Amino acid sequence: MSESIPFTRPTLDEQTIADVAEVLRSGWITSGPKVRAFEAALSEYFGGRRVRAFNSGTATLEVALAMLGIGAGAEVITTPLTWVATANVIVRAGARPVFVDVDPRTRNIDVERIAAAVTPATRAILPVDLAGLPVDRDRLYALAAGHGLRVVEDAAQSMGASWNGRRLGSFGDYVSFSFHANKNMTTAEGGCLVLPADADAALCERMRLQGVARDADGGMDVDVFGGKFNLTDLAAAIGLNQLRHIDAFNARRRELARRYLDQLAEAAPRLGLELPPGDFSQSNWHMFQVCLPLDRLTLTRGDFIRAMAAEGIAVGVHYPALHLFTAYRALGFVPGSFPHAERIGREIVTLPMFPALREDQVDRVCHTMIDILTRHRA
């Protein structure tokens, strides 16, 4: 068998390894000077906005909702085509997620449909940039302003992406990024929250670490029920080095995406394979996703994934429509409510994409996929 091609793999250089070793030798491995340096570097990257680092992108969303006072009786509009954490944080806050179907082309929340979902209980919109392709920020914020709503951007997948020449995170309301191991830059596990001008940064810090406020005399108080969401210096050391390379990482991803699109251009229409939008000015190409023409095939998506694995190629699924999960059906959500998200969630697969991926490996992925689909046409 040919060499295996993983679905994703982080790019970690020797300097990163050395810096992590330095933190280990220092004896200060939890939140400390490296976290402060990482937050300062992130702030510079986002044009001087205030940034706080967390141990996950999920934690950043939880804290953003809490800072906005979103809880029981509130509704938050979001997409059903995302990692389940996006909706879980709304439910855990005591609020209700209100799903809006996606645009079948971008696979992002259909901004044109949001207004119809707004009710007197709506407090915020929580959009997701699926695969790093930005939601239309102009229309999104115009709509939010028109209805008096806050925005919590789930930009977990879109680090380094932009909208009309402006880097995501350098503008907007609350903006949450993830630095999970499969993201465009990583801290192994982690994330950050970019704060708007009216946010209380000190409150954000207290909510990040059990609500504790300390005074100069060694005393402490707790005035809010916080969590345990702090980032470690070990993670921050990784993040500082990753941040220096994020633009190069994303440039490489764009090159690979072009290669994928070029390799699949002829076969896709013939096979009925649905390709992602070819956005090379704004997307960071966190993932390269295609929708399989299952109604034209004699195999299932699972069969396809196993066939690719047999050839040494890892394929992912990101994501099933989350309102169909058992926990969400228990909340009253039913099949057929969001047909575009449901259809895409059934058909979508994610192909290998990471900076160290080679052109010949992209070609092999494409040729193998085309061969499997061709042999299993109905």
Q: For residue range 19-35, what is the model confidence (pLDDT) as tens digits?
A: 999 999 999 999 999 99
Distances (CA, A) of 65 to 35, 172, 230, 288: 23, 15, 17, 30
| Residue 240: pLDDT over 90 | yes
- Any domain includes 363: yes
Whether 34 sits among the annotated catalytic residues: the reply is no
- Any domain includes 1: no
Residue ending a domain, choose from 240, 266, 281: 240
Q: What would the two tokens of residue 266 be? A: 């002829």
CA distance 158 to 133: 7
Residue-range definition of the domain harbouring residue 364 = 246-375
Burial of 129 (0-12, 13-18, 19+ CB in 10 A): buried
Tens-place pLDDT, residues 152-196:
999 999 999 999 999 999 999 999 999 999 999 999 999 999 999
pLDDT score, position 1: 59
Proportion of the chain above pLDDT 90, given as a percent: 99
Per DSSP bridges, beta strands 122-126 and 75-78 are: parallel
CA distance 323 to 234: 36
Among residues 137, 180, 183, 252, which one is catalytic?
183
Q: Are residues 154 and 172 in the same domain?
A: yes
- Any domain includes 110: yes
Nearest to 248 by CA among 11, 15, 8: 11
Q: What would the two tokens of residue 64 be? A: 């953003």
| Residue 2: pLDDT over 90 | no
Tally of domains within the chain: 2
pLDDT score, position 358: 98
User: What letter would DSSP give residue 109?
Assistant: B
Q: What is the pTM of this model?
A: 0.97
Q: Are residues 195 and 102 in the same domain?
A: yes
Nearest to 233 by CA among 42, 32, 51, 57: 32
Residue ending a domain, choose from 214, 240, 266: 240
Tens-place pLDDT, residues 64-99:
999 999 999 999 999 999 999 999 999 999 999 999
Residue pair 185/179 in contact (Cβ under 8 Å)? The answer is yes
